[in-house]
Chain A
């Protein structure tokens, strides 16, 4: 029973182009969404987040879009750089629940080709 789904296990993008990573969720109670980036042999690091009161949040080259009606969010990276090659995890939680931990998707491996 996967509440957070990342249906693309991998994605290859040319350097300088846009990378779009997608995430779907099933639990309508989720109201806080995050993206984490993970390099091999390291722990995940926080990238960007969005609350359900917004539909877009931007931080430099990274933008997260949220479509609540479709229960879908996406992470856009533009322009993509070779250093962006990593596994990207989408995560969700119920922000006001007090005790609900983050639920993660299985991740998408992004390869940015020079």
Chain B
């Protein structure tokens, strides 16, 4: 029973490029959450999705960031025109139902040069 799978583990982008982060939730989980951890900071909520729907995106910057969780395939967090301040660890988590404990992936470390 595989856990939450995130890829890539490490992603290097130059300023202005696009970053795509993928997350496959645990089997049977239809709720996906994205969190960001900046150096020396805690986990900051970005977006909560449930199959094909964005439930809460209050933590996501209004520009350049978008997320989707299609009917088939992984959830994607997309960052357009990356800037150095986007460098962080991005964690995806899933749960079988809302308000249950979250299971986290190993994260994607994004480095913007």
Interface residues of A (CB under 8 A from B): 4, 6, 32, 34, 36, 41-46, 49, 89, 93-107
Check A96/B106 contact, CB under 8 A, given A103-B45, A104-B42. Answer: no
Interface size on B, residues (CB 8 A): 25
Interface of A is mostly: loop
Interface residues of B (CB under 8 A from A): 4, 6, 33, 35, 40-45, 48, 55-56, 59, 91, 93, 98-99, 101-107
**What are 10 A-B pairs at a CB distance below 8 A?**
A41-B107, A43-B6, A43-B93, A44-B91, A45-B104, A89-B43, A101-B33, A101-B56, A105-B42, A107-B42
In the bound complex, residues from chain B placing their C-beta under 8 Å from that of A99 are 48, 55-56, 98
In the bound complex, residues from chain A placing their C-beta under 8 Å from that of B48 are 99, 101
Known: A43-B91, A101-B48, A106-B40. 5 other contacts (CB 8 A): A44-B104, A45-B104, A89-B42, A93-B99, A104-B35
